[in-house]
Amino acid sequence: MTRILLNDHPTWALLPKKRGPIVLLLHGGLSSSESLLRVLGPGLSKRFSLAAFDRRGHGRSADTDLPFSYEAMADETIAFVEFLGRRVHLLGHSDGANVAIIVALRRPDLLKRVVVVGANYHFQGLVSMEEFTPASEGFADFAEQYAKHSPNGIAHASAVVEKSLALVKTQPVLTLKELATIAVPVLVMSGDDDVTTLSHTVEMYQAIPEAQLAVLPGTSHAVLKERTKECVKIIERFFTGPIPPRTMYPLRRQSSGTTQ
């Protein structure tokens, strides 16, 4: 664990410790890399070298006066992969999944395969839910946890929440036509009671060429925590298995010919 400069901004990072395929974990909003490393790290580290970084304003990376945007988060991710100097698998959850989609669109040359968990390609794809604001009942607990690691301190917690709320209410604004140009293999994962509507998730799966879909029953946006072992198995199988997958009765994939 160290600090590196990403686009001239000091950023907390976990660099891969061994040779072999790298899985870059992209955390969700109002979270940090620790959340994914703690949940998925023990399982995935058996076969992959893990990497992660805390995006600006999250975890141990300080914030700036700029608003949050998925494009800027994608800029950070691209800079991090270029810093590593190797192609990686991307695994993003929530906001991190939205970032992964944008990186796949912009820089497929940096990627091997991509897993997006709880993603939405357009902000209108989210289900209606109560907004989390500095006035919310759980804000005090969030602010206390935020201040344990953030260089900005507890006073900045409200600004981060407000910027995150503005982000999810206006972004992303991708189209199905744009998703159809993604040139890397993608696994779309979701809980069956996630923050994104199932119809939106299926639209995304259907739009991305050769995408795979995993909707886990009886789970929510916290699917990675609720079904950790099952999720790790699905993710490992996707990262290591043939593309396209070999099935007994291919229909959607019957015209595919190449294996990656």
| Chain segment 155-205, per-residue pLDDT in tens | 999 999 999 999 999 999 999 999 999 999 999 999 999 999 999 999 999
- DSSP result, 11-54: EEEE---SSS-EEEEE--TT--HHHHHHHHHHHHTTTSEEEEEP
State mean pLDDT over 225-245.
97
Q: Are 115 and 91 in contact (CB under 8 A)?
A: yes
Residue type, 246: R
Contacts of 39 (CB under 8 A, 6+ apart): 224, 225, 228
What pLDDT does 255 receive?
A: 59
Q: How far apart are CA 188 and CA 51, in angstroms?
A: 21
Q: How far apart are CA 258 and CA 260, in angstroms?
A: 7
pLDDT tens figures, 69-105: 999 999 999 999 999 999 999 999 999 999 999 999 9
Output DSSP code: residue 126: B
Q: Is the pLDDT of residue 228 over 80?
A: yes
Contacts of 56 (CB under 8 A, 6+ apart): 9, 11, 62, 63, 64, 72, 73, 76
Q: How far apart are CA 181 and CA 202, in angstroms?
A: 17
Select the more confidently predicted residue: 101 or 260. 101
What pLDDT does 44 receive?
A: 98
Judge: domain 2-240, CATH 3.40.50.261: no
Q: How far apart are CA 64 and CA 30, in angstroms?
A: 15
Question: pLDDT confidence of 252, banded at 50, 70, 90?
Answer: confident
Q: How far apart are the first and last CA of the chain?
A: 32
**Residue 154: C-alpha distances to residues 125, 193, 245 (Å):** 32, 32, 48
Give the distance from CA 95 to its chain's centroid: 6
State mean pLDDT over 202-230.
97
